[in-house]
Amino acid sequence: MDWTWYLFRFDGRINRAKYWLSGLIIVCWMIFLAAIVAAFGARSFGFSVDDIFKAVDPDTYRTLSRADLPLVPAKLIGTPLFVWVFAATSIKRLHDRDKSAWWALAFFVLPGLINQFLDRIGNDYIGFMLALVSFVLATWGGIELLFFRGSRKTNRFGADPLYVPPTGRPGWDQARELEMHAQKAGPPPQWRVKPEA
């Protein structure tokens, strides 16, 4: 498998199994990077989806202290890497479902932005409606990418990743594979009596 294409490029299609595998790869990378940061003495460290949307939130930068400064390089390296791999594999999975990459905005970006700024909305009714919209979009996107089968035909994004082309030779020909030797009636040669005896 071409790992560079699989994890970092946005063209083509991947099936459900490869999408689940990409999630496992991202989690393993997060654990590895968190272990490195913990080895340097950080007490609490973790990655979350909120880290992506905290980058556009001005309150995040106001609350940084000197104790947080060693964690900043790990977040600056890890978060873009994880976002890139997640976006690349999610878009390829959307392509497998015969959907444009623009659906990622509805499934991931819009719910994330709503959740980041939800606590600042003064009106409870509007806040509830926005939270409901965010939940529905994120759930729909998760179900669409994680559980539904991709299109079985070649679509505008490429061939079906589960399609196995014919090899050009016929399948198993049972009559050709079995070798039947002619049987001779009579005792085996070692039991025969020599005529001279």
Mean pLDDT of all residues in 169-185: 64
Distances (CA, A) of 82 to 61, 127, 133, 165: 21, 29, 25, 33
| Tokens, residue 181 | 């030797």
Torsion of CA 169, 171, 176, 178, to 10 degrees: 140
| pLDDT (0 to 100) of residue 176 | 64
The label of the residue with tokens 């556009």 reads: 56
How many CB atoms neighbour CB 176 within 10 A? 8
Mean pLDDT (the chain) is 81
pLDDT range class, residue 78, cuts 50, 70, 90: confident
Of 168 and 26, the one with more pLDDT: 26
Of 32 and 98, the one with more pLDDT: 98
Strand partners, 155: 158
Q: What is the pLDDT of residues 121-135, one digit of tens each?
A: 888 888 899 999 999
Mean pLDDT of all residues in 72-84: 80
Of 138 and 66, the one with more pLDDT: 138
pLDDT range class, residue 99, cuts 50, 70, 90: very high
